[in-house]
Structure 1
Amino acid sequence: MPDFKRGRSFLRGAPAACLILFLAACSGGQPSAPETAAGTTAAGAPAVPSASGAAPPSSAAPGASSSTRPALSKEAQMETDRLLIRAAKANDPVQVRKLIAAGGDVNAKDGIQDSAFLYAGAEGFNEVLKLTIAAGADVKATNRYGGTALIPASEHGHVETVKILIAAGVPVDHVNNLGWTAMQEAILLNDGGPRQQETVRLLLEAGANPDIRDPQGRTALQNAERLGFTEIAALIRG
């Protein structure tokens, strides 16, 4: 069996394909089909190690629950999760897909409380975001500011991302550690332009409550009026 400590130093920074081959070796078996240099089987599917070392059935592909993810050792799980978060932050859906198939946990967080799901949502990396949701992301998860993925997505005016997160069931009225909802951040931390207007419209359509007050006691309407965002104010009144 390979020396795992030496393996970890080799894997650090290695591509996902190397990680997948190494994990298969550590589990005591070989992939069920010949592998290409890209870390896939001859049929083109990711070579995914399972508890026995063989590739799991197609039901264990991205979208499966945590109970159907390949069983990894604690150290291998940590490394796979680390690589998954790194791939998500690089907006690399190909690597994200492979690492999810290899057992990566889309809810695992790094040292600053980012998960693949939370980061993709905040930054508007929609392809990665959809992969994490299909793989069982906790849509109620919160970041280091105590906010859901919907709050920074709304702040940045990522309209398509906001649609995806609302459809996935992210709470629209969650209040973060700063005392702001997604709607308040969409107003307070941007320019009130077309993307922010559409974001507010989507939140209102999804049932968001504009009367939740910020720490200064102001509603979303009061903040929109105070900042001169007349279009947003009209949306809230309407």
Structure 2
Amino acid sequence: MNKVWLACGWALALAWTTAGLAQTAPSAAEAARYTGVLAAAQRGDLAALEQLTPAALQVRDGQGRTALHVATFARQHAAIRRLAGAGADLGALENDRYDAVTIAAVADDEDTLRLLLSLGASAQRVTSRYDGTALIAAAHLGHAGVVRQLIAAGAPLDHVNNLHWTAAIEAVVLGDGGPRHQDTLAALIAAGANLQLADRQGLTPLALARARGHTAMVAMLERAGAR
């Protein structure tokens, strides 16, 4: 195994995925320019959201964010409920192809994620420029509570993104090997994730954990029968 190649490959992949996961919440300047439904979603103004029209639900800002995206970033739960009740598309994607579920997952916002899932949002959508999922994004970041919620909601355990990584691989390769990522990997193992799926170089989560020196993860994977 070429350790130089691995180090370069991981560094490049980390740069790619970090850029992809750096979802852009509305800036203060953007939010100040919002009008209508977007302004109401940002502020959680339920009175302004009382008379939503189908056209209002289609309004997007310059980043392609709908009112639901805006309310999710702002953690405006009552506004999210109102928008969902009015028929907002819970799976709408903004310009970088993120839906509200993935936005909440990346933010480690378990309360908003729980609300979205209870309203019928899907944990199964393919999102982002990497053709990933909310589960892969959360595993990358070590958001174990989010990972468990998504698993319970039917997120695809073994989805392979266009970097040829699964949630288990991302937890190992892009994690720090510490408690958060160990907990994340434990959740994936307990749920029955396929630990034999390999990356483009044929490296499984176990091989990658060994190469990264993540000894606790190695032990976990070996106990689970990974090869």
Q: TM-score range by the shorter chain?
A: 0.7 to 0.9
Report the 3-state secondary structure (helix = DSSP H, G, I; strand = E; otherwise coil) of the residue aligned with 1:225. helix
For the pair 1:169 / 2:154, whether they are aligned, the reply is yes
Give the superposition deviation at 1:122: 2.5
Kindly tell me: are residues 79 and 216 of structure 1, through their superposed partners in 2, closer, same or farther at Cα, counting changes over 3 Å? Answer: same
Instruction: Report the alpha carbon displacement of residue 235 of structure 1 after superposing the two structures with TM.
Output: 0.4
User: Residue 9 of structure 1: CA displacement?
Assistant: 5.3
Answer yes or no: is 1:132 the counterpart of 2:113: no
Query: Identity, % of aligned pairs?
Result: 37
Structure 1 gap ranges (5+): 1-7, 24-71
TM-score (norm 1): 0.71
Equivalents in 2 of 1:98, 1:10: separation in Å?
15
- In the other structure, the counterpart of 1:62 is none
| Shift in alpha-carbon separation, 1:136–1:21, aligned structure 2, 3 A | closer
Amino acid at match of 1:222: A
CA RMSD after TM alignment: 2.0
Say whether the 8 Å CA contact 1:173–1:209 is kept in structure 2: yes
Bigger fraction of residues in helix: 2
Tell me if structure 2 keeps the 8 A contact 1:85–1:116.
Answer: yes
Shift of 1:19: 3.7
The amino acid of 2:87's aligned partner reads: G
Q: TM-score, normalised by structure 2?
A: 0.74
Q: 1:10 to 1:229 in 2, by over 3 A?
A: closer
CA-to-partner distance for each residue in 1:81-109, whole Å, 9 max, x for gaps?
81111111223323322322333221111
1:143–1:149: 8 Å Cα contact kept in structure 2? yes
1:208 is aligned to 193
Do the aligned partners of residues 10 and 234 (structure 1) sit closer, same or farther apart at CA in structure 2, a change above 3 Å counting? Answer: closer
Q: Which of the residues 141, 151, 154 maps onto 2:136?
A: 151
* Aligned position for 1:78: 58
Deviation of 1:21 (Å): 3.5
Instruction: Indicate which of 151, 163, 168 corresponds to 1:183.
Output: 168
Flag structure 2 segments of 5+ consecutive residues without an equivalent: 1-33
Q: Which residue of 2 aligns with 1:160?
A: 145
